[in-house]
Amino acid sequence: MFRTKYRTVRQRGSNGVGGTLRLNLGCGLQAPAGWTNIDRSPGLILDRLPGAKSVLYRIGLLADAHMVTWPRSIKLADVTKALPYPTGTVAAIYSSHMLEHIYFDQALALLGECHRVLQPDGILRVALPDVRVFARQLLSATEDEAAAAGLKFTQLLNAGPLHKPNRRQKLTQFVGASPHRWQPTSALVINMMREAGFADPQSREFMVGDLPGLAEVEHRPEGLFVEARR
């Protein structure tokens, strides 16, 4: 149903604590020890270019919120390309509120790559926004609330700005978080994981599951959670 092609590479990966490789994909500013934390946010790219953020801040293209320092331990990598780890070498993979920011076919392909690099019995866990929660809020609004609820629903989908941005705003938005390219539900994510090769993906609750070191990486209680074993 969701089949797509994806090129793989075979490179030597680095091990985490105790020789157990655990990947935190789209980690943002969270870079816990014992995990290989990977991100490719524009803010991280600028952070690695000496003086770039200061120049953009002075000319008004960046705000105070953009001036955070990213942990140096974060690996700058594009996860929409093949994961640079040999087949069957990763013990655990976590990703929080990242998959919805890449295109649907890229998200499906990345899940396939996660299945490839995981060891037998390795675990993948993903956290994403739940569009059904947003839809329930919209549908439960009264007639008096309907106009505001419709606008709120549009904002929660985060599919793009409500107002046409000027050139400066476009540049500022590029440095911030990208829009949601698709809208997840638990059933959709479970189907995607099955298509990627996982036999029995399961919906989970916040901080409940079998992922090793879950408390080290899971910090956002909102949304949906799905876990699968290789």
Q: What is the pLDDT of residues 19-50, one digit of tens each?
A: 589 999 999 999 999 999 999 988 888 888 88
Q: Given 3.40.50.300, 3.40.50.150, 3.40.605.10, 3.10.20.520, which CATH number is that of 17-40+77-129+180-229? A: 3.40.50.150
pLDDT of residue 56: 83
Reported as a single tens digit per residue, the pLDDT across 130-149 is 999 999 999 999 999 999 99
Output the pTM of the full model. 0.86
**What helix, strand, coil percent values describe the chain, rounded to 5?**
35, 15, 50
The model's pLDDT over 79-112, given as tens digits with 9 standing for 90+, comes to 999 999 999 999 999 999 999 999 999 999 999 9
Q: What are phi and psi of 74, to 5 degrees?
A: -70, 130
All structural domains of the chain with their residue ranges: 17-40+77-129+180-229, 131-170
> What local confidence, expressed as pLDDT, does residue 51 receive?
84
Cβ count near 72 (within 10 Å): 8
- What are the Cα distances from residue 98, in Å, to 30, 131, 183? 13, 15, 12
Edge to edge, the sheet with strand 224-229 lists 75-76, 36-39, 22-25, 90-96, 118-128, 224-229, 202-204
